[in-house]
Chain A
């Protein structure tokens, strides 16, 4: 998978996702290899776990609503070219 400079998105999140997809493409047939996580990312995960809304007893009904809406949104997507 090769992407030209003109098609390169400026959004760093999209960039990272595309890099991951490039990596997947390069590793066909699909390879499994352990991932080393950065200390910074692991600290961020701990920060999220420590949030009040992520403690036992939290109401996560809204997550199901968002997942359902997201699935309906993508299910209605149509190829336009």
Chain B
């Protein structure tokens, strides 16, 4: 499940980022399928500063899922974080409120913008604080007098 940029209604609310977060359920079989799909498409898999060690099997997937560890897929000028954590939320509650957008004919499930914003507020890392300040300002400029108006 992907994130904030797909909720942009104008280029003015698109953020240039080095990586993309793909939020996965805490399911070892699914994690392993995601790794294999990445490998088939020519991505290298990394955990921390090291390549994800072989063999990529159910045992390793179980360990990664139980530790909620981050695996990064790298290739084609893309960095994709296969994340099992979204601050303040379990996968199922985010999945239930997803939107499904289309990108080049492919269905892409995307977390709701309100969940994304709430998660960044809960995480509260400096980069989240920067995102929230910048996003609020972008919406204020783009919505003008309609910004935050009560209905």
Contact = CB atoms under 8 A, between A and B. Distances in A.
Are chains A and B native binding partners rather than an unrelated pairing? yes
A69 B121 CA distance: 29
Contacts, number: 134
A61 B121 contact: no
A55 B45 CA distance: 33
A20 B100 CA distance: 32
B147 A44 contact: yes
A13 B114 contact: no
Interface in B1-48: 5-9, 11, 13-14, 16
Interface of A: 12-13, 16-17, 19-21, 23-24, 27, 30-49, 51, 53-61, 63-64, 66-67, 70-71, 74
Interface of B: 5-9, 11, 13-14, 16, 77, 99-104, 108, 112-114, 117-118, 120-126, 128-130, 132-134, 136-141, 143, 146-150
